[in-house]
């Protein structure tokens, strides 16, 4: 299981993995903890990731690779326990430090997308 969608809000919950020995969280989920190594793979369990995070850095890619729409806004979001990458709806400029929610992509193109709109309707 990598994700679950909340039908009412469009919010999407992602699942990563957490090492119960050292607490390290991986996304995408890993079989082995990158810190503790293969000897402690049994300690690695699934974990639901927070649905909201903070933008660390971003860019607007003018020419996306074949099969993706251009331009494409990418940002790296700090979820507190792990940093993940994704795209943002629309093509407006964003700011480092801005809050982003993880939501379902209505087009089905991406595994998930980041959205500000959920942030506007939902208190953080």
Partner 1 sequence: MTKFGKREDKGLIELAVEAGLGALNDSGQKELKVDAVYVGNAASGQFCGMENLGPIVAEQLGLLPCEAEKIENTTASGSCALKEAYRAIAGGFLDCALVVGVEKMTHLPTEDVTKIIAAAMTHPTGETVHGVTMPSLAAMFSRKYMEKFDLSTRHLALVAVKNHGNATLNPYAHFQKKITLEEAMSSRIVADPIRVTDCAPISDGAAAVLLQSEETAPPTKPTVMILGMGHSTDRQMFYQRAEEFEITAVKEAGLKAFHDSGLAPSDIDVAELHDAFTVLEIVESEDLGFFPKGQGARALEDGLTQITGEMPINTSGGLKGRGHPLGATGVAQIVELVWQLRGQAGQRQVHGARRALACNFAGLGNSVVATVLQGS
The footprint of partner 1 (CB under 8 A) covers: 26-28, 34, 56-68, 72, 74-76, 82-87, 96, 110-111
Give the C-alpha separation, 13 to 58, whole Å: 22
- Least distance in angstroms from the C-beta of 122 to partner 1: 23
Q: Which of 25, 24, 33, 94 is nearest to 59 (CA)?
A: 94
The DSSP output letter for 11 is B
- Least distance in angstroms from the C-beta of 62 to partner 1: 6
Calculate the alpha carbon distances from 98 to 28, 73, 74, 84 in Å.
Answer: 23, 14, 13, 15
- Least distance in angstroms from the C-beta of 89 to partner 1: 13
Q: Which is nearer to partner 1, 24 or 118 (CB)?
A: 24
Q: Which is nearer to partner 1, 52 or 79 (CB)?
A: 79
Q: Which is nearer to partner 1, 47 or 75 (CB)?
A: 75
* H-helix or E-strand spanning residue 121: helix 117-121
């Amino acid at each position: 299981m990598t994700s679950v969608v909340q039908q009412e809000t469009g919010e999407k919950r992602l699942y990563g993995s957490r090492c119960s020995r050292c607490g390290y969280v991986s996304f995408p989920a890993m079989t082995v903890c990158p810190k503790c190594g293969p000897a402690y793979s049994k300690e690695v369990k699934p974990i639901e990731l927070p649905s909201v995070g903070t933008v660390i850095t971003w860019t607007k890619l003018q020419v996306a690779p074949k099969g993706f729409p251009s331009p494409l806004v990418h940002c790296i979001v700090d979820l507190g326990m792990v940093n993940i990458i994704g795209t943002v709806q629309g093509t407006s400029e964003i700011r480092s430090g801005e809050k982003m929610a993880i939501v379902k992509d209505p087009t089905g193109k991406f595994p998930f997308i980041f959205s500000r709109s959920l942030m506007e309707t939902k208190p953080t």
